[in-house]
Structure formats: C-alpha cells, structure tokens
Amino acid sequence: MPSTRFPSPHIAVVGSLNMDLVLRVSRCPAPGETLLGHDFAQHPGGKGANQAVACARLGAQVRMIGKLGNDAFAAPLRATLDAAGVDHRHVSTDTGASGIAMIVVEDNGQNRIMLAPGANGALTQADVRLAADDIHSAALLLCQLEVPTDCVRIAFAEARGAGVPILFNPAPAIPLDSDLLAVDYLVVNETEAALISGLPVTTRAEAMAAARRLLRGGAGAILLTLGADGALIADTNGVRHYPAQPAQVVDTTAAGDTFIGGMAAGLLEGMVIDDAVQLGMRAAALCIGRPGAQPSIPFRHELDDLTPGDPKPDTTRKS
C-alpha cells in the first residue's frame, strides 16, 4: 500500500483550465428539439483547475501547471486560482482561446458536459518540463486527461524519477496503456472503471470486481466513486465500501474533482487512505448541494459538522 507520510508541503497539479458555460433546463432536449432553459451562468472550471482549487480550499498548498488562452476568459480563471491561493506561475499563455465547457444541468442535478480544449490542447511536454522543479519537490502529483496524454506521460516520468507519488484521475475516459495505470492512487467513476477494466459496472458487486481487476493492473490503490452509492477502496487490505453522505442534489458538476481534492489534502496531512477518502466524500456532499463548478467547492471549515461513515467490508468471493 502506498505511503501516506509525505515529506514536502505542496501538491502539483498538471491539468486543464476551462470557463464553464452552464445552462439549466428541466430536462435535456431530444434530437432536433429546441428546449427553453431557465438559467444561464458562467463559472471557472476545468478538471485540473477544479482539483487544484479543491485541494487548496481543503487545506493543501498547490502549484498548478497548465495553459490559458489570450482571451477574455483568461483573467477571471487566473483570478480564481489567486483567490484560492493556488500558485500558477507555470500556467502559461497561448495565442488562441482558453478552454471552454458547455454544460447542461437538469433540474434533478444531473449534468452533460461538452468540451472545447482550446489552450489546454496546446500544453506541451516542454511546458511540463519547465515546471519539473514543482513536480520534483511535490508531496503528490495530480493529473487528469483534459490535456494531451503525452504531457501526462512526461509529468509521470518526472514524478517517478523523483519518487513523488501519483494520483491519476483518467477522465475523460479513454483506453489507456498499462504504464499510465500503474500509479499510487487511481481514481475512477463507474464509466471510467468500466472502460478501463473492460467489465460492466452497473451494481456494487460489479464495481468491486472491476476495482479488483484495476488493482491487478499495478495501481497501489483504486478509488471508485459510485455517485449516490458512495465509494469503494481497493488496495492490499481488500475492498471496502463507504456510503455517501446525505445530500440534496442541486448540481453534480465538480463533485468528483472535489472528492479528489479532499482526498489529496487528507493524504498530504498524513491521513490513512480510508480517512482521506471520507474527507473527500464529505466535501463532495457539500459540493453537489450548490450550483457551478469551482463556486460549489467547499472550504475545510465547512466540513466540521459532517461526520465520517462506517466502512462496509466486501464479503463477496475474491476472484
């Protein structure tokens, strides 16, 4: 099982920065249908920036590595990082547009997200190498897949060379080589787990089977989020399930990123993985009760009234 005692005080995040354009509707339209929405908002987002902000608001020092465009969205996206205390000296500027996400949120809180990568797609291996010192000196590296995969590979190589643990959230889900999955912490939802493991993930028992298969792929620990059914942990201590915190769902955007931020902040403090996961779950429960991506991410002091749940050990046959 990976160590959770880290010698260095910051988390390095290599990832995306997007401006989210959010439309709320009663339901998603059918093909060819025009549907009248009832609210529109613009919020800072992007999986990389969301996770960086979540880590910072939940107690960690954070250094962000990414790319913004030369447009009207760049300044407010940087300002949000500043407000959270995220160091963005290695967020460079491209000549084109910043990344955007078109998000449709139904009244039941479910969302559908479409991305235009913009400057995120222009991040290069050279950009990551310029920030190598921030990775080498980190306690933990966080990566996702809203930037080019070759940038993720370089970030992994820099981290592994310096002995820095890696937390990888392979989203949006794509088929991946085994070397990208052999990380210290692999965090996936049901869709990502099904694609990467090749197994169905429609029940908790199926999720447990998928987590075991992913664990055999070389990761130190698998964290599989199950939405309203909570989350699974699979590591050398077995598979266990934690129920979700009770929550009123307003908007699920950034819930997974908030979970990761809470978990990463907990690991940075030296928590065992089960406690860190529960910290992430409590943060995600607050996140989904609020609209927007980064605006919905809670601060650490807001979690004081939410108590951890009890683990539910896996009692199914190991295979």
Distance of CA 29 to the CA centre of its chain: 28
Binding residues for K(+): 251, 253, 287, 290, 292, 296
Query: Which residues make up each annotated binding site for substrate?
Result: 18-20, 46-50, 146, 257
> How far apart are the C-alpha atoms of 318 and 186, rounded to whole Å?
20
Told to judge if 257 belongs to the known catalytic residues of this protein, a careful annotator would answer yes
Instruction: Extract the annotated binding site.
Output: 18-20, 46-50, 146, 189, 225-230, 251, 253, 256-257, 287, 290, 292, 296
Quick check: 51 and 144 in contact, CB under 8 A? yes
Following CA atoms 163, 169, 174, 180 in sequence, which dihedral angle do they give, to the nearest 10 degrees? 10
Nearest to 294 by CA among 27, 64, 131: 64
Instruction: Count CB atoms within 10 A of the CB of residue 125.
Output: 15
Neighbour-count burial of 291, counting CB atoms closer than 10 A to its CB (0-12 exposed, 13-18 middle, 19+ buried): middle
**What phi, psi does 64 have (nearest 5°)?**
-105, 140
Are the C-beta atoms of 155 and 141 separated by less than 8 Å? yes
Q: How far apart are CA 274 and CA 255, in angstroms?
A: 18
Binding residues for ATP: 189, 225-230, 256-257
How long a stretch of residues is the chain? 319
Dihedral (CA of 272, 147, 295, 89) sign: positive
Q: Which of 257, 304, 305, 310 is catalytic?
A: 257
Cα–Cα dist 263/284, whole Å = 10
Closest CA to 115 of 131, 99, 92, 93: 99
Active site residues: 257
